A and B are shown apart, each in its own frame.
Chain A
């Protein structure tokens, strides 16, 4: 090949690099063979504790069982090695899968349309705020003051460039209250950051009275047994189904909306069409919203998204089916309520009542920080300490937490409380 190019030395191909910046190689270890690499990484990762080694009751991103079939599906090289399906004829598999994903999330959220994913629920919130601003142009958004600080921090970065102000609604009994608000959008969550199911009537009315869009954050598993927020304009969430926790990423930002707003949507959208011979086919559509065509005026800068996580989500829903989803959702709810009851029995308070799905706040009768520290020594990762509530702990409980795990944990909690007192 070098002969064909009439060069003697590979460096002749790098002649355009100014001599001042040329280097000869990197200060990295020599190449390693596969087995050595695997061993080295195993050794590093052995310092982690998994859910199976240390039961955990952390909220937000929780452990869920993932059927073996889901792993097999997303391990197909045709899916995971391929690029964004721009060449439709060579990508019908991915395109149909994403179309099915869009169908499933739109069904769950009660919306008409979905995009093929955002990075995570926090960036989905940021993008939803920007989209609402494109539609309403009023320069502000209201959010509950009790959402995760992570989402708040991301939202702030997403909206600052567009000059959107954020108004934080105070809360009463764990639920946001809003008197009057004249902005582009109101964001609410159910289940919310405290795990509560919000019946949200006033805020919904407020949004429609004031011509603000309603952005609704929710949970896909919850939606298999609870009514979808059909009155919302944009529904977002974390698409954790079928996707392992992976220490927090990759995640899957669900983004769905009403039909009238699809041209304002961020991200890639897959549509159904036909081929030259009239056979059903799928293709990316409405691409003139996207950065590769609209550049600086695109609805978003997103290019690579979380497509394979969307396929995992779809595969999970397909394997579980409606029956399976509902069974799991009911187990989640039952286990969480069982845990709350057991905690109450040993002196915890459940400050916001029992209208929750699989996360809830409990107030520890002893110093919560100390409690968590001591429990960790006993091999239990207790729930998340809340800054906003003294000795408040946010618990996350799923189908993975069967009675034995809960009973054992509650016993250890009781034991630890006695040590602290």
Chain B
């Protein structure tokens, strides 16, 4: 499935001659001179040692590894985008401004928020932006609120973002896989700035008490924050804005297929309700007559969170995706939820344990803790899946499930793929423990030694000399 090469590092490939340059200050520079032919071969080999969405099933929970329609790539490589400077006169970038303006409007419709900023570069950056907005809002109101509450099932970026914005983080335990309302009521008080929630949550369970949760938060004068990582479950079925969320971020690289880029770039737009609009980063985009303009006027704004207006090429891809799907975004969510429930039942039949069993949304979490009796860990099963040509699900997250496997098939997989995956998972359950612990066997490298990597870190090719 993936090719195996002993691919040298760039600096190990045979070099061409160095030119002499007169009068330059820097003498030493260890960057190789290589013919383009060698460079291409190198990178093609590297790519062939990497698993992508077009390679096969990639059910990485929480990451929404859906298919990335190829038109998105074509749009993002247009000269009309690539060769436009962010500092050009507004009159010469009307196309870009229009695109951003319309994308904001579409995201408002999808989420039920009143206004969006497109400036944050990723989900976590959006969370940070949202927390800065919360802080600025309470400062403006003259209230000292220093705490942000987060469920123990939350993604690690939630507490990290809240901390970076200067808040204390209070973690509350979950009950039966959902927010424990009593625990929430117990900690909410006049010092609470916000409650951050993913809905459906990281177990793939919809927080059905969401309206009660919103009431508790509102009555305390705090804000409800929506981590939109799981929006793919509910498009066209419900809107965070209607559930009482005041601030939300989206991950365009997940829900809107822009893709993940091997780790980034993404985009993490933040939407807010009307009463928070003035706190959004600058500039905003306004339409005056038929013209689009940057607006720097809001005095309450938090200012800036990145250099320019956001990851524009990524935004253009999300815009393309939404145009392609239109109203059918609802069908995407329905199919994603159907696929997820189907695969969950299949895996239960195959003998896997689903903690807090019940209906799931677009993803679900199984626990492999039963396998520990045989000395097998979730990571062993994950690695074994690679031998069957599947990318493993997310492992060991959320933290509230032991030996967690978080599985998100997305709407783009067919029944045959899901059946095949379930069949292989069933088979692995009965495989020899040693076989699993020594897996993967067929990948470009065998099980990677992470302990050694951490002991004496080798961070650049100089360290390998």
Contact = CB atoms under 8 A, between A and B. Distances in A.
Given A40-B323, A85-B263, A323 B19 contact: yes
Q: Which of B99, B164, B211, B359 neighbours the largest number of chain A CB atoms within 10 Å of its CB?
A: B164
Given A14-B337, A122-B306, A305-B264, A78 B47 contact: yes
Contact of A150 (B58, B307, B341, B457): B307
A412 interface: no
A194 interface: no
Contacts of A173: none
B447 A275 contact: yes
Interface string B151-167: 00001110111111111
A154 interface: yes
B237 A83 contact: no
A51 B237 CA distance: 44
Given A41-B320, A154-B304, A84 B260 contact: yes
24 contacts: A20-B211, A22-B238, A31-B328, A38-B74, A41-B319, A78-B54, A79-B47, A103-B462, A104-B10, A114-B460, A151-B307, A154-B307, A157-B304, A161-B165, A223-B26, A247-B93, A248-B308, A272-B464, A274-B452, A293-B156, A318-B39, A321-B16, A321-B33, A322-B29
B85 A63 contact: yes
Nearest to B337: A13
B140 interface: no
Contact of A93 (B48, B76, B458): B48
A16 to B, nearest CB: 4
A323 B35 CA distance: 11
Q: Ordered nearest first, which 10 A-B pairs have the shortest CB separation?
A: A248-B308, A161-B166, A248-B86, A307-B263, A93-B50, A308-B261, A273-B453, A250-B265, A244-B82, A301-B160
A224 B206 CA distance: 53
B224 interface: no
A300 interface: yes
B81 to A, nearest CB: 6
B73 A75 contact: yes
Contacts of B47: 73, 76, 78-79, 93
Given A44-B98, A123-B121, A157 B163 contact: no
Interface in B63-80: 63, 65, 68-69, 71, 73-80
B448 interface: yes
Contacts of A2: 338
Contacts of B302: 157
Given A34-B324, A93-B49, A301-B160, A381 B92 contact: yes
Contact of A304 (B43, B264, B312, B341): B264
A315 B325 contact: no
A90 B51 contact: yes
Contact of B68 (A37, A81, A112, A113): A81
A249 interface: yes
A17 B237 contact: yes
Given A90-B443, A107-B460, A79 B308 contact: no
Q: Which of B25, B242, B445 neighbours the largest number of chain A CB atoms within 10 Å of its CB?
A: B445
Contacts of A157: 132, 302-305
Contact of B95 (A48, A283, A295, A317): A48
A249 B243 CA distance: 32
Interface in A51-106: 51-52, 54, 56, 58-63, 67, 69, 71-73, 75-85, 87-94, 96-100, 102-104, 106
A262 B454 CA distance: 12
B288 interface: no
Interface stretch (B123-131, B179-187, B365-373, B427-435): B123-131
Contacts of A207: none
A30 to B, nearest CB: 5
B342 interface: yes
A166 interface: no
A135 interface: no
Given A23-B236, A301-B128, A79 B92 contact: no
A298 interface: yes
A264 to B, nearest CB: 13
Interface in B270-323: 302-314, 316, 319-320, 322-323
Given A80-B262, A305-B263, A321-B31, A87 B382 contact: yes
Nearest to A106: B460
Given A112-B459, A157-B305, A326-B24, 17 more contacts: A17-B206, A38-B71, A46-B80, A88-B448, A92-B444, A99-B460, A107-B460, A116-B263, A120-B121, A161-B163, A245-B83, A249-B265, A250-B311, A271-B453, A274-B448, A277-B446, A304-B265
Q: Which of A71, A102, A305, A327 neighbours the largest number of chain B CB atoms within 10 Å of its CB?
A: A305
B347 interface: no
Interface stretch (A284-292, A336-344, A345-353, A360-368): A284-292
